Amino acid sequence: MIVYLRLLKESLSFAINALRNNKLRTLLSLLGVTIGIFSIIAVLAAVDSLDRKISKDLSSLDKNTIYLMKFSFGPSEIPQWKREQFPNVKYDEYTSLKNSLNDTQQVGYQLFVNRESLKYDSKTVSDVNIIPASSEIVDIEGLSFDKGRFYNESESNSGTPVIVLGYEIAEGLFGNSDPIGKNIRLYGQRFTVIGVIAKQGAGFFGNSNDTSVYLPANFLRRMYGDSDSMTPVIVLKPVKGVDMDAYKAEVTQKLRTIRGMKAGDMDNFFINVLSGFTDFIDGILGQMNVVGWIISGFSLLVGGFGIANIMFVSVKERTNLIGIQKSLGAKNRFILFQFLFEAVILSVIGGIIGLIMVWGIAFILTKALDFEFVLSLGNVILGTSLAAIIGLISGILPAISAANLDPVEAIRTGM
Convert the pLDDT of each residue in 124-175 to its tens digit: 899 899 999 999 999 888 888 999 999 999 999 999 999 999 999 999 898 8
DSSP 135-188: TTHHHHTT--EEEE----HHHHHHT-SEEEE-HHHHHHHHTTS--TT-EEEETT
Choose the final residue of a domain: 204, 233, 268: 268
- Mean pLDDT estimate for the chain: 82
- Residue 34 in domain: yes
Within a 10 A sphere around the Cβ of 182, how many other Cβ atoms? 16
Residues 238 and 101 in one domain: yes
Residues 51 and 198 in one domain: no
Residues 150 and 227 in one domain: yes
Choose the final residue of a domain: 213, 240, 268: 268
Burial of 331 (0-12, 13-18, 19+ CB in 10 A): exposed
**Per-residue pLDDT at 3:** 63
**Per-residue pLDDT at 311:** 77
Burial of 81 (0-12, 13-18, 19+ CB in 10 A): exposed
Residues 159 and 246 in one domain: yes
Q: Identify the band that residue 21 occupies on the pLDDT scale cut at 50, 70 and 90.
A: low
Residues 116 and 254 in one domain: yes
Residues 116 and 246 in one domain: yes
Residues 27 and 125 in one domain: no
Q: For the whole prediction, is pTM greater than 0.85? A: no
- Residue 75 in domain: no
- Residue 32 in domain: yes
Q: Which of 110, 232, 221, 88 is nearest to 158 (CA)?
A: 221
- Residue 379 in domain: yes
Residues 238 and 100 in one domain: yes
- Residue 71 in domain: no
Residues 323 and 245 in one domain: no
Residues 333 and 220 in one domain: no
Q: Look at residue 104 and tell me whether its pLDDT is greater than 70.
A: yes
Domain range for residue 201? Answer: 87-268
pLDDT digit string, tens, across residues 203-248 = 545 557 888 999 999 999 988 887 777 899 999 999 888 888 899 9
Largest CA distance in the chain: 100
- Residue 395 in domain: yes
Whole-angstrom distance, CA of residue 388 vs CA of residue 348 = 5
Number of helices and strands in the chain (H, E): 14, 11
Residues 107 and 173 in one domain: yes
Element (H, E) at 189: strand 189-197
Q: Look at residue 315 and tell me whether its pLDDT is greater than 70.
A: yes
Average pLDDT over residues 84-89: 88
Q: Look at residue 11 and tell me whether its pLDDT is greater than 70.
A: no
Choose the final residue of a domain: 235, 268, 301: 268
Element (H, E) at 44: helix 23-57
Q: Look at residue 280 and tell me whether its pLDDT is greater than 70.
A: no
Q: Where are any strands of DSSP class E within 332-379?
A: none
Whole-angstrom distance, CA of residue 268 vs CA of residue 255 = 10
Residues 250 and 305 in one domain: no
* Count of structural domains, the chain: 2
- Residue 76 in domain: no
Indicate the DSSP class of residue 211.
G
- Residue 74 in domain: no
pLDDT digit string, tens, across residues 340-384 = 777 888 888 888 888 888 888 888 887 777 667 777 788 888 888
